Structure 1
Amino acid sequence: MLFGTSGIRGLYGKEVTAKLAAKVGNAMGGAGRKVILCSDTRQTSPILAGALAAGAMQSGAEVIDLGVGPTPLLAYATFVEKCDGAMITASHNPPEYNGIKLFSKGGEYSKAQEKKVEEAVSSDLKKAPWDKAGQKGRKDFSEDYIKFLIARVDSQAIGKRKIRVLIDAGNAAAYSIAPRLFEAAGCSVVRVNCDKPGQFTRNLEPKPSTLSESAALVVKEKCDFGIAFDGDGDRAIAIDEKGVVLPLDTQLAVFCSHMLSRDHNKKFVTTVEASLSVRETVERHGGRLFITPVGSLHVADEVKRQSAAFGGEPCGEYVFPFATPCAEGLLSAIMVAEIFAQRGPLSGASRGIKAHHMARTKYKCRADMKGEIMRKISEKPQLEGRLSTVDGLRYDFEDGWLLIRPSGTEPAIRLTAEAKSEKKLSEIVQRAGNLIMKEIESAH
């Protein structure tokens, strides 16, 4: 399978090559079509971007190259231009990885669209005559995009508070536009990892263990809060004024609570990975939660289907119905400023969120064995609870739950578990972890 839960992704030169990028570009293109291209700051991104553009132009398509920018900027440009686009990125994966994520009119490609690309990639290339070959140009959407985002938050309240914010872009895709967004909103910005694009001085997965330096700087620089981005800028993680990186489930619950106060609409969307704290927050405010498989595409589709007020994944990907229908890391970031402006320090906003004991881990395995490993685990009677197969294997029991699913972005099996006691959590993780490792060893 070419596409995972977040586009095409793999090791550069092995699973993701210039030849593949050219074929994908050719599949997206065609006479009279327009393809917008954007890239993250990885060393191999210009190679893949150039190849994809060449393939699209060979088909007769016009190519607009945005250069380096975050995924939500690419989505916005395809929304404005009413066309398709490709983001060259491997998000939070290590620098030796890269990938291609496809968009159409603001949203991610549907599974049906991805299937058509897969079929085209294995077929003959579309070749326009020499005088019908496509051309490539550049266009800057960033200023319009910044205005678009600021118009979707309480910019007046944000401006009045004279917010001081630390931005850690990881020297990745959001390194330039994120600070500009906050400055345009009237904030004072402390830049961290925003000056050496492509030099990844921290892990691109923003979490407490990778953000310790930025968290300490939030306190040292007397910032009201900090924001850290992942590799392609579709996720934004908040750090409160005390230097505490908000746990992802707590941050999602804070957003749900804020969106409930912002809108009379009480429908919310999340995935099978969401914690009890998210469900409890929504239900405490009289809201209703809709559950989808993991992936922002599924969340965005369900937000539209239910006319929901908000959709979010525990990994930090949030979908807003009043913006482009995709994971919007830049809007999430400036929405944190609105939360601060309207509700005060983030430490206070998160204080009412009840956190339970939670564990998230992954077990590496061969990518081509994930399906077989999951099949064997499903046949084992060692795991108890009410089973749901919406995405992977989720077991719900009285005082917690367990989810085992194949990663859609890495060669791994993921385990997520939550329980109301640390003892129960330890028992769940040990039993399930042993089972997963046993089946991985058996498969190899």
Structure 2
Amino acid sequence: MKFGTSGLRGLSSDLKGPPSYRYAKAFGLYLLESGKARKGARILIARDFRDSSPKIAANCTAALIDLGFAVVDCGTVPTPALALYGLETNSASLMITGSHIPADRNGIKFYRPDGEIGKEDETAITRIASSLGNENMDAQASAVTNEEEACRTLFLKRNRALLAEGALNGLRIGVYLHSTVARDMMVDVLTSYGADVVPLGRSETFIPVDTEAVSEETLEKLGRWAAEHRLDAVVSADGDGDRPLVADETGTVIRGDVLGLVAAQFLDAAVVVTPVTSNSGVEAAGNYDVVRTRVGSPYVIAGMEEAVAGGRDCVMGFEANGGLLTCSDFTINGHQVRALPTRDCFLPILAILSLARRHQKPLSQVVAFFNLPVAAADRLENFPIETSTALMAYLRRGRAELSQFLETIGAVAMTSDIDGLRVTLEDGRIIHFRPSGNAPEMRCYVEAKDETAAAALLRAGLERIRGWARAAAAG
């Protein structure tokens, strides 16, 4: 078990056993020790559609009841819906989800009554968990309050107030339902604004959808659906509904950082906090100040909180996966919308669809307007953590090692080591190597002048990683 870029992650087979009970108990003890909650306080629990999630939720429920908390079951709802309900009711919460990672893995996201936990909280919870043994646990069904409907209603109310009535009239939008807990709410919200919604690809088995590295199979589906149903867009989300997926009228996926830029324009943001992996064109694309961070919502949240503490207003953040976070209350469509400092997929989807509808332009033209460098990303799955650790140590050893590694790709001009290793080549192209914080995967991000060059650079980068791993394994 370990904390990644967002929440605790591990194998489903492990989390269905004592570790989930232990970490939930550690979280409860941390709340009590830090004074963030008292015995008898409410704690919310929700989950995604993975097969392992109900069992893990039962373990967590048992641990928290054993500590004297009143557990509230919020069912299968998106993570941002749970987080909003927790803020509204001043309740801590746990979301059982592995987000976008494969179905043989799962995780737990923890929220204090005032919002998502940070890195210091993670350290404290890990310390407490390590002091606990694999105690016997009673994970049988317990008498808990169910408030799934109230949680859903609050989130739907928020999203139905973001746009004017009929704001999406005339748009034909496909919703890729798969196994995301956001699917039914997404159909409901889009329909409420007048969109002609076409539900697609509902699945009763879990399908991992990574919005930063969309699979070839998913890309083929999006393109086929866009043409077959004459769609203006196809939208979806990852497993727990905090990362948006938007494809244009051709089925081409729109990068998450573009969705973030559109959301910044929609909100009229003054400060934008985003990780180093977001497009290098972000700074020049809008009238706001930009703060760059490491990858992961805790770092983006810390950057937003620092801006607010410094007296700034209209502060938001986004990640390269498209998840939007707000640290200020914003006035939208005449309504005050409270800050939601955790990733949300709904607002960025509504922002770009309403922009396209307002200007009567296809999504592809909306994206082209920003004229950003072409970016691409992918990952090597089942890449051992010890191998990625060794690779990063080699690349950081010195300029000679890095230059040798990139010899067939290009000459090194400058590097940034904020998170992973980001290399700007002498011809202006960018290649960024970073181990995943959530799973045994090695990620590669690139930027180039056009799609052909970006695709070639991405292929070359992934092949260099594979080649180095093969050589290292051979000794």
Distance 1:425 1:400, change over 3 A: farther
Q: Does 1:158 align with 2:167?
A: yes
Deviation, 1:408, is 0.3
Distance 1:112 1:156, change over 3 A: same
Within the candidate set 427, 433, 438, 2:468 is matched to: 438
Residue aligned with 1:146, SS = helix
String of CA shifts for 1:242-268, please: whole Å, max 9, x gaps.
2333331xx5335424633652x4432
Q: Structure 1 unaligned segments of length 5 or more: list them.
A: none
Deviation, 1:85, is 1.0
Q: Is contact 2:422–2:433 with CA below 8 Å preserved after alignment?
A: yes
Deviation, 1:125, is 7.2
Query: In 2, Cα distance between the equivalents of 1:74 and 1:428?
Result: 36
Question: How many aligned residue pairs are there?
Answer: 426
Report the equivalent of 1:96. Answer: 104
Q: Is contact 2:263–2:348 with CA below 8 Å preserved after alignment?
A: no
Query: In 1, Cα distance between the equivalents of 2:305 and 2:98?
Result: 26
Q: Structure 2 unaligned segments of length 5 or more: list them.
A: 30-38, 330-338, 404-411
Deviation, 1:58, is 0.8
Within the candidate set 330, 334, 341, 2:346 is matched to: 330
Q: Is contact 1:215–1:243 with CA below 8 Å preserved after alignment?
A: yes
Report the equivalent of 2:273. Answer: 269
Query: In 2, Cα distance between the equivalents of 1:184 and 1:33?
Result: 36
Distance 1:176 1:426, change over 3 A: closer
Query: In 2, Cα distance between the equivalents of 1:427 and 1:147?
Result: 44
Q: Is contact 2:376–2:454 with CA below 8 Å preserved after alignment?
A: no
Q: Does 1:260 align with 2:260?
A: no
Letter in 2 for 1:324: L
Report the equivalent of 2:246. Answer: 238
Letter in 2 for 1:330: F
Deviation, 1:379, is 0.2
Distance 1:289 1:64, change over 3 A: same
Distance 1:423 1:155, change over 3 A: closer
Deviation, 1:119, is 1.5
Report the equivalent of 1:118. Answer: 126
Deviation, 1:430, is 3.7
Q: Is contact 1:208–1:245 with CA below 8 Å preserved after alignment?
A: no
Distance 1:6 1:357, change over 3 A: same
Letter in 1 for 2:301: A
Q: Identity of aligned pairs, percent?
A: 23
Deviation, 1:157, is 5.2
Deviation, 1:309, is 4.3
String of CA shifts for 1:23-68, please: whole Å, max 9, x gaps.
1221222523322111100111111011111111111111111111
Letter in 1 for 2:297: S
Letter in 1 for 2:394: K
Query: In 1, Cα distance between the equivalents of 2:50 and 2:397?
Result: 41
Query: In 1, Cα distance between the equivalents of 2:16 and 2:365?
Result: 47
Query: In 2, Cα distance between the equivalents of 1:216 and 1:348?
Result: 20
TM-score (ref. length: structure 1) = 0.85
Deviation, 1:236, is 1.3
Q: Does 1:212 align with 2:240?
A: no
Q: Is contact 1:182–1:189 with CA below 8 Å preserved after alignment?
A: yes
Report the equivalent of 1:360. Answer: 377
Matches within 5 A, 1:183-332: 183-194=191-202, 196=203, 198-200=204-206, 203-206=208-211, 207=214, 209=216, 210-240=218-248, 242-248=249-255, 252-253=257-258, 255-257=260-262, 259-260=264-265, 262-263=267-268, 265-282=269-286, 286-306=287-307, 307=312, 309-321=315-327, 322=329, 323-332=339-348
* More displaced 10-residue stretch of structure 1: 34-43 or 24-33: 24-33
Within the candidate set 426, 430, 434, 1:405 is matched to: 434
TM-score (ref. length: structure 2) = 0.80
Report the equivalent of 1:417. Answer: 446
Within the candidate set 364, 367, 373, 1:347 is matched to: 364
Residue aligned with 1:91, SS = coil
String of CA shifts for 1:85-117, please: whole Å, max 9, x gaps.
111111112222211111223632111111121
Report the equivalent of 1:392. Answer: 420
Report the equivalent of 1:107. Answer: 115
Distance 1:361 1:341, change over 3 A: closer
Residue aligned with 1:100, SS = strand
Query: In 1, Cα distance between the equivalents of 2:457 and 2:232?
Result: 39
Report the equivalent of 2:157. Answer: 147
Distance 1:266 1:396, change over 3 A: farther
Q: Is contact 1:279–1:289 with CA below 8 Å preserved after alignment?
A: yes
Q: Is contact 1:229–1:237 with CA below 8 Å preserved after alignment?
A: yes
Report the equivalent of 2:35. Answer: none
Deviation, 1:186, is 3.7
